[in-house]
Chain A
């Protein structure tokens, strides 16, 4: 005979009862499966958004304005959002910096996307996405943001689409609170995303803008900062751009013992030369695949039909984390080896980890 603590009747609210009844009515589906047909953006639904406009910015970049569902909690300038888009029928998740100012019109948010060569999602968003399309969303995240107390002097060091997170900071009025220098690289003047807006700010004297056009002037070397921005080491710096640039910048600031004044945002993993690869077993689904040392486990699993959790696919959102039960994987960004013996459950990011020998992934 067992006794249980009587549940206070107030615990089972009328709402709960109603929901349970609704579930009985719709089984094996859920009430939301029906509600999604009519109100995909309603409160309580899985977070989604509807594209309301796609505005070209440069020949290969566009701003996508999204009306998020009622559950959207907003963002802080500099943060990114994970977006799930169906491209050629396949759901793809990517992370993009939010370029709009928090609390804008109707709570809409905007992301600005640069089409990268062979980029499935970026090309789709820039060239094919249409208003009215529903996309999947996650709450904004990321710590590439300004501190509570804005520093007096700020250096923004960006290249290509690296301008997007800092644009949100500028649009939110960073230049009104700090002395800002922006050093931005792009192949040509026309390739500068938000070029007109930035130049207008500079003309008004709101910030100092250093444009570097790499097609004519070559890549920016870190040492050039001495001339371009003589006081750069005294400035709190936010840098975002390609891996090579970030590596150089990080090395430079670190060598001067100033690593804590530098904030960086990396959007693509550094891919190291292929390791040895191996057999990956997904223990829950009993699927086994041969993967080479350059293929992320996420991709290997998906190609074998395993439903893998994923997010940004570039190592920043941890939406793809799964326990490594045994074996070894290599981090594709820096070559780090992670190993686990049976009994361990080391969590690994499957999107930036490749098999380095046999490994068992729990899924």
Chain B
């Protein structure tokens, strides 16, 4: 067993190496069943979501042409925020994962898709698909653990700068798409290493610059100008829609790996990892959000973060369907399936950010500080 636990109670101590391999086989079987059944219904689903997004975006922008009229402002802003969320979450994130490549539609393909976001798709795909999904929750390898600006695990060393992390996190939530772009660009790292002059970095930075220019031009200049007398109110509306989208995505994404109950792993723990162990790491390193169908769509089905991490390239509409099978597997092997409603998971994640802004005393690490938030909804 290569997954090393530092917790007081090792959550996988009861599993033998064979158990873990069997878990892997069972998960492979679930995956194969979905792939064999993939077809028309799924294609119809993603096309419908894309069509809904486009219709919503277009009509919201049209309503915002009259945004000086307060009801129009409210309706248009809400519609635009929802459209942007759909674009980023259920469509963009999932298409860029290659979940829909099997349709062979060059328009809905991970190599051609672009999203309403300032991070260029290829840069995001590298840091997200290749790094985060591969090194899920491995401290020191998976930068999604705190995005390189926060300390979200007891095992990360504490520095005085972490005192400010609740504030960084709030700022990051508001401007999340820029945070992601900087993160995908490894901005901090490259600047620290003095690599900002390297041609490779400059080319990538230029690509980000181009995307920022186009987004800003669209949201803050062209559409407000088109609204004529509603210039300022449309500007405010677009800003608000972006803010809502950013805070929403940030919250959903924090719920994926930050809440209590999620395990992290040591760098050395993944050497020679078997397929079963890889699956196990994804199972223990992710957390779900419970809720309604609408909630799942608005989170891009990242409310099924566990299923997504097990099978990042299966069509998102299938996660909900296989979740009961996955959960039954957790139960059968006595593993904790971390899930809970959004407010609870967000609170849990925020509490961790705040708690770890302070150095942890050795005792802190062993017991949850906020017992009310400690257990998952799985119980």
A88 to B103: give the CA distance in the assembly, Å.
Answer: 9
**Chain B contacts with A in 99-140, Cβ cutoff 8 A:** 101-107, 109, 111-112, 114-116
Contacts of A86 in B (CB 8 A): 40, 43, 103, 105
| Chain A residue nearest in CB terms to B101 | A305
Contact in complex: B40, A88 (CB < 8 Å): yes
A27, closest chain B residue (CB): B214
User: Is B38 among interface residues, defined by CB-CB distance under 8 A?
Assistant: yes
A21-36 contacts to B, CB under 8 A, are 21, 24-25, 27-29, 33-34
Contacts of A34 in B (CB 8 A): 54, 58
Residues of chain A with a CB closer than 8 A to B105's CB:
86, 91
Say if the beta carbon of A89 comes within 8 Å of chain B: yes
CA distance A29 to B115 in the complex (A): 8
Q: A89-B40, A307-B106 are in contact. Are A24 and B111 (CB under 8 A)?
A: no
When the two chains form the complex, which single residue of A27, A28, A91 contacts B104, counting CB atoms closer than 8 Å?
Answer: A91
Q: Which of A69-86 contact B (CB under 8 A)?
A: 86
Q: Point out the residues of chain B lying under 8 angstroms from A25, CB to CB.
A: 218, 222-223, 226
What is the chain B residue whose CB lies nearest that of A93? B104
Bound: A305/B110 CA distance, A: 10
- In the bound assembly, the distance between CA atoms of A285 and B98 in angstroms comes to 13
Asked whether any CB of chain A lies closer than 8 Å to the CB of B154, the reply is no
The reply to whether B222 and A28 contact each other, CB–CB distance below 8 Å, is no
- Is A149 among interface residues, defined by CB-CB distance under 8 A? no
Q: How far is the CA of A33 from the CA of B226 in the complex (A)?
A: 20
* Contact-size category for A: 10 to 19
Contacts of B58 in A (CB 8 A): 34
Using CB atoms, name the residue of chain B closest to A24.
B222
Q: A24-B222, A25-B226, A91-B105 are in contact. Are A305 and B98 (CB under 8 A)?
A: yes
Task: Pick the contact of A89: B43, B116, B218 (CB < 8 A).
Answer: B43
Q: Cβ of A307 and Cβ of B54 under 8 Å apart?
A: no
Interface of B is mostly: helix
Closest chain-B Cβ to A235's Cβ sits at a distance in Å of: 43
Given the interface pairs A34-B58, A89-B38, A307-B111, the reply to whether A24 lies near B104 with Cβ below 8 Å is no
B190 touches A (CB below 8 Å): no
Q: In the bound complex, do residue A90 and residue B218 qualify as a contact, i.e. CB atoms below 8 Å apart?
A: no
Identity of the chain A residue whose Cβ is nearest the Cβ of B223 in the assembled complex: A25
Q: Inside 8 A of B214's CB, which chain A residues have their CB?
A: 24, 27-28
B161 is an interface residue with CB less than 8 A from chain A: no
A302 to B111 alpha-carbon distance, docked (Å): 13
Q: Indicate which residue in A28, A29, A89, A305 contacts B54 across the interface (CB closer than 8 Å).
A: A29
Tell whether A37 is near chain B: CB-to-CB under 8 Å: yes
Closest to A309 in B: B106
- Residues 44-91 of B at the A interface (beta carbon under 8 Å): 44, 51, 54-55, 58
A-chain residues with CB within 8 Å of residue B21 when the two chains form the complex: none
CA distance A134 to B218 in the complex (A): 32
Which chain A residues border B102 with CB–CB below 8 Å? 89-90, 305
Q: Does B215 make an interface contact (CB < 8 A)?
A: yes
Is B170 in contact with chain A by the CB < 8 A criterion? no
Contacts of A21 in B (CB 8 A): 222
Asked if A89 contacts B39 (CB within 8 A), the reply is yes
List, in ascending order, chain B residues with CB within 8 A of A28's CB. 114-116, 211, 214
B15 contacts A by Cβ under 8 Å: no
The answer, among B41, B54, B217, for a CB contact under 8 Å with A37, is B54
Q: Are A27 and B215 in contact, CB atoms less than 8 angstroms apart? A: yes
- Residues of the B chain whose Cβ atoms lie less than 8 Å from the Cβ of A90: 39, 43, 102-104
How distant is the Cα of A37 from the Cα of B215 in the complex, in angstroms?
23
Q: Which residues of A contact B109 (CB under 8 A)?
A: 307
Q: Which of B313-346 contact A (CB under 8 A)?
A: none
**A285 CA to B51 CA, complexed, in Å:** 29
Chain A's nearest CB lies how many Å from the CB of B95?
Answer: 12
**Nearest-CB distance from B251 to chain A (Å)?**
24
Report which residue of B104, B114, B222 has the largest number of chain A beta carbons within 10 angstroms of its beta carbon: B104
- Mask: chain A, 85-122; 1 = CB below 8 Å from B; 0 = not: 01011111000000000000000000000000000000
Whether the pair A33, B218 counts as a contact (CB closer than 8 A) is: no
Which residue of chain A lies nearest to B51 when distances are taken between CB atoms in the complex? A37
Q: Which residues of A contact B112 (CB under 8 A)?
A: 307
CB atoms of B55 and A37 under 8 A apart: yes
Q: A68 to B242: give the CA distance in the assembly, Å.
A: 40
B54 near A24 with CB under 8 A, answer: no
B42 contacts the other chain (CB 8 A): yes
Cα-based distance from A137 to B111 in the complex (angstroms): 22
Q: Mark A193-231, 1 if CB is under 8 A from B, else 0.
A: 000000000000000000000000000000000000000
- Known A-B contacts A37-B55, A89-B42; A307 and B218 likewise in contact (beta carbons under 8 Å): no
In the complex the two chains form, what is the Cα distance from A25 to B226 in whole Å? 9
A-B contact pairs, 18 of them (CB 8 A): A21-B222, A24-B217, A24-B218, A25-B218, A25-B223, A27-B215, A27-B217, A27-B218, A28-B116, A33-B107, A37-B55, A86-B43, A89-B38, A89-B41, A90-B104, A302-B104, A305-B101, A305-B102
Residues on B facing A (Cβ under 8 Å): 38-44, 51, 54-55, 58, 98, 101-107, 109, 111-112, 114-116, 211, 214-215, 217-218, 222-223, 226
With A27-B217, A37-B54, A86-B40 known, 19 other A-B pairs at CB within 8 A are A25-B218, A25-B223, A27-B214, A27-B215, A28-B115, A34-B54, A34-B58, A37-B55, A86-B103, A88-B40, A89-B40, A89-B103, A90-B103, A285-B111, A305-B98, A305-B102, A307-B104, A307-B109, A307-B111
